[in-house]
């Protein structure tokens, strides 16, 4: 690196976080001054960043306002190299630190995140376009996950060792098992659930004893600054947790370094495939990758139509349909289709779509909600390119639909934001080969299909290589009877697919997770078992013959 920036220049937030970062958010003093990457040695920023390329800008998706300009791709790649080297030194220290000490360090992270929860929620509303309820969902999931790990470290450690113990009968006292860390992990933070993702990554890394380099996406820059500011005030093992800002190309650069032992990534199918391809030269590298799920809701004739409609909309519109668990397909029994379509159209007409960054009663100012500015049901898409993709698929949907109940379109009243009206289409027929019906669109779009027999609906739900979650509305006994035919690993009974977004225990099939485990089981991929064998009596019996 050409230079390091460790001071506290006028207007920056690297000094008193509680005062300066909060002040900037409440007063909307944007763009913020970016403090730099947070490495083991402190805040770092290249000296002549303007000479190395275009700065990465994070924008408010509801207004187009620039929130913060971070770094160039070239500078970020150089910094990531430095962070990996520092993490490589840290891994040697972390291997010898007892679990209880690592858990105490994790406890300080949880406490600090909880102390700054309101700032976190505001950052999510400004930058990710999440409604207050959606921001609270991400934060609450993060804190719950941290609390679970901190409350059950011994049980979790034993559970992680259980697969190793299954390999030997009668373990008894002759064997001593331990889980050893694989090494440095790179963890990418998506814009839709950055806090819950961070909580999962940092707990998995600390349970395993691995240093973690968290990489906020360009649309999670405020959360990255928040996390860096939190970490800067904690007494963690040097280099155990670093924050490097960058895009996917910066992450790809990190794949060239064989010291990177694990990659944790949620993103597009194309990106996941590229990570797999470019990691083939490092056979021992662990890849925990997940792209979006092609998630479905089945409404059986025994199901509650009104409840199914509410769950459909919650699943399809939460975070504007930009979650791995978002609902994109609904299979409705033929006897209920007319009522379902009529009622969902009425519900959509009552939707409030709008800005998520306007003052609310929950803001740090304590101000009341502005007149006529109640919390919207849905905010904007994260970027203009997401709107373009959504509109392209709407054209395809209309060609294949028997009826477009609601036509997805850009909302012209929001001149500078990425707001769309959701698309809801009753399809002529199910076609697994259709580009529209098979792709993970990652936007507020619903394709409705009719069915007569439950097995036909399940067969259609299974016709995807991205089965992640499925909701079933009807008699629970039916899905228990048919569960062996359902390929989606997570089944929600009479609730939305997004209800437990950060808590789903299993990743999806193929592109949506390759059957990986979630939660604290992440530590399984960041560690490896080792057994120490004590001398057994059989050796004495053998040597008696000499």
Whether residue 82 has pLDDT greater than 90: yes
- pLDDT recorded at residue 114: 96
Whether residue 432 has pLDDT greater than 90: yes
**Distance between CA atoms of residues 187 and 376, nearest Å:** 31
Backbone phi, psi, residue 118, to 5°: -70, -40
- pLDDT recorded at residue 172: 55
How does pLDDT run across 84-118, given as a tens digit for each residue? 999 999 998 998 999 999 999 999 999 999 999 99
Looking at the chain, the whole-number percentage of residues with pLDDT higher than 70 is 89
- Of the pLDDT bands very low, low, confident and very high (cuts 50, 70, 90), residue 441 is very high
- pLDDT recorded at residue 197: 95
Q: Residue 21, CB half-sphere, CA atoms under 13 Å: how many?
A: 25
Non-local CB neighbours of 400 within 8 Å, separated by 6+ positions? 425, 427, 428, 431, 434, 436, 437
Instruction: For tokens 């697994």, name the residue.
Output: 432
**Distance between CA atoms of residues 131 and 323, nearest Å:** 14
For residue 521 the two structure tokens come to 């089981």
Whether residue 371 has pLDDT greater than 60: no
How does pLDDT run across 152-167, given as a tens digit for each residue? 988 998 899 888 888 7
Q: Residue 19, CB half-sphere, CA atoms under 13 Å: how many?
A: 5
Q: In DSSP terms, which residues pair with 327 in a beta bridge?
A: 295
**Distance between CA atoms of residues 434 and 4, nearest Å:** 52
Instruction: For tokens 């803001």, name the residue.
Output: 363
Nearest to 308 by CA among 450, 489, 471: 471
- Of the pLDDT bands very low, low, confident and very high (cuts 50, 70, 90), residue 6 is very low
Burial, 61: exposed, middle or buried (Cβ in 10 Å; 0-12, 13-18, 19+)? buried
Q: State how beta strands 212-216 and 241-243 pair.
A: parallel
- pLDDT recorded at residue 372: 38
- pLDDT recorded at residue 354: 96
Q: In DSSP terms, which residues pair with 450 in a beta bridge?
A: 332
What Cα–Cα distance (Å) separates residue 156 from each residue in 180, 201, 241, 491? 15, 15, 21, 24
Q: What is the pTM of this model?
A: 0.92
Residue 48: CB atoms within 10 A of its CB come to 9
Backbone phi, psi, residue 498, to 5°: -90, 5
C-beta separation of 138 from 124 below 8 A: yes
Nearest to 67 by CA among 160, 191, 188, 156: 191
- Of the pLDDT bands very low, low, confident and very high (cuts 50, 70, 90), residue 343 is very high
For the chain, domains (ranges, CATH) are 17-167+176-291+519-529 (3.40.605.10), 295-351+382-501 (3.40.309.10)
- Of the pLDDT bands very low, low, confident and very high (cuts 50, 70, 90), residue 49 is very low
Nearest to 61 by CA among 378, 366, 422, 430: 378
Helix/strand/coil (H/E/C) assignment for every residue in 51-108 = HCCCCCEEECCCCCCEEEECCCHHHHHHHHHHHHHHHHHHHHHHCCCCHHHHHHHHHH
For residue 124 the two structure tokens come to 């999510």
- pLDDT recorded at residue 7: 33
- pLDDT recorded at residue 512: 86
Question: What is the pLDDT averaged over residues 443-472?
Answer: 96
- pLDDT recorded at residue 456: 97
Non-local CB neighbours of 538 within 8 Å, separated by 6+ positions? none
Query: DSSP of 205-258, one letter per residue?
Result: HHHHT--EEEEE-GGGHHHHHHHHHHHHTS-PPTTSEEE----HHHHHHHHT-T
Non-local CB neighbours of 140 within 8 Å, separated by 6+ positions? none
- Of the pLDDT bands very low, low, confident and very high (cuts 50, 70, 90), residue 401 is very high
Question: What is the pLDDT averaged over residues 163-175?
Answer: 69
Whether residue 2 has pLDDT greater than 50: no
Of the ranges 284-298, 350-364, 491-505, the best mean pLDDT one: 284-298
**Distance between CA atoms of residues 480 and 487, nearest Å:** 13
- For the chain, the residue count is 546
C-beta separation of 344 from 309 below 8 A: yes
For residue 30 the two structure tokens come to 């944007």
- Of the pLDDT bands very low, low, confident and very high (cuts 50, 70, 90), residue 423 is very high
Backbone phi, psi, residue 303, to 5°: -90, 165
Burial, 290: exposed, middle or buried (Cβ in 10 Å; 0-12, 13-18, 19+)? buried
**Distance between CA atoms of residues 296 and 470, nearest Å:** 5
């Amino acid at each position: 690196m050409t230079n390091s920036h460790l001071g506290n220049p006028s207007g920056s937030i690297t000094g008193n976080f509680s005062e300066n970062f909060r002040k900037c958010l409440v007063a909307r003093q944007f763009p913020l001054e970016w403090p730099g990457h947070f490495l083991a040695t402190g805040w770092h920023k290249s000296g002549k960043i303007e000479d190395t390329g275009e700065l990465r800008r994070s924008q408010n998706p509801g207004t187009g306002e620039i929130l913060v300009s971070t770094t160039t791709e070239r500078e970020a790649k150089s910094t990531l190299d430095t962070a990996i080297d520092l993490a490589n030194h840290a891994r040697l220290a972390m291997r010898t630190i007892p679990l209880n000490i690592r858990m105490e360090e994790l406890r300080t992270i949880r406490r600090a995140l909880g102390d700054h929860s309101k700032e976190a929620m505001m950052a999510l509303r400004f930058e990710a376009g999440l409604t207050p309820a959606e921001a609270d969902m991400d934060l609450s999931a993060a804190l719950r996950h941290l609390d679970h790990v901190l409350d059950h470290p011994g049980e979790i450690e034993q559970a992680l060792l259980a697969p190793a113990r299954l390999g030997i009968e009668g373990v008894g006292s002759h064997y001593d098992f331990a889980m050893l860390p694989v090494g440095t992990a790179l963890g990418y933070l998506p814009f839709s659930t950055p806090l819950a993702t961070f909580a999962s990554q940092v707990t998995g890394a600390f349970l395993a004893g691995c240093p973690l380099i968290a990489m906020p996406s360009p649309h999670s820059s405020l959360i990255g600054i928040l996390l860096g500011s939190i970490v800067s005030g904690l007494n963690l093992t040097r280099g155990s947790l670093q924050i490097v800002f960058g895009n996917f190309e910066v992450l790809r650069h990190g794949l060239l370094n064989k010291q990177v032992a694990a990659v944790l990534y949620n993103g597009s199918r194309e990106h996941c495939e590229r990570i797999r391809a470019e990691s083939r030269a490092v056979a021992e590298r662990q890849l925990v990758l997940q792209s979006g799920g092609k998630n479905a809701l089945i409404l059986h004739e025994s199901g509650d139509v009104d409840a199914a409609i509410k769950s459909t909309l919650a699943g399809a519109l939460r975070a504007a349909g930009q979650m791995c668990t978002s609902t994109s397909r609904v299979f409705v029994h033929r006897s209920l289709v007319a009522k379902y379509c009529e009622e969902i159209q009425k519900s959509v007409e009552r939707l409030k779509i709008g800005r998520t960054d306007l003052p609310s009663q929950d803001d740090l100012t304590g101000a009341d909600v502005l007149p006529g500015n109640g919390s919207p049901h849905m905010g904007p898409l994260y970027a203009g390119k997401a709107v373009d993709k959504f509109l392209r698929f709407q054209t395809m949907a209309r060609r294949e639909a028997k009826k477009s109940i609601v036509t997805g379109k850009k909302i012209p009243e929001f001149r500078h934001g990425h707001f769309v009206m959701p698309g809801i289409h009753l399809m002529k027929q199910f076609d697994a080969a259709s580009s529209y019906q098979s792709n993970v669109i990652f936007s507020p779009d619903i394709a409705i299909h009719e069915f007569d027999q439950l097995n036909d609906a399940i067969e259609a739900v299974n016709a995807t290589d991205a089965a992640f979650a499925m909701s079933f509305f009807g008699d629970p006994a039916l899905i228990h009877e048919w569960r062996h035919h359902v390929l989606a690993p997570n089944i929600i009974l009479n609730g939305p697919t997004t209800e437990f977004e950060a808590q789903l225990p299993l990743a999806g099939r193929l592109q949506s997770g390759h059957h990986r485990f979630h939660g604290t089981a992440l530590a399984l991929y960041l560690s490896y078992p080792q057994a120490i064998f004590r001398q057994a009596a059989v050796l004495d019996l053998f040597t008696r013959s000499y």
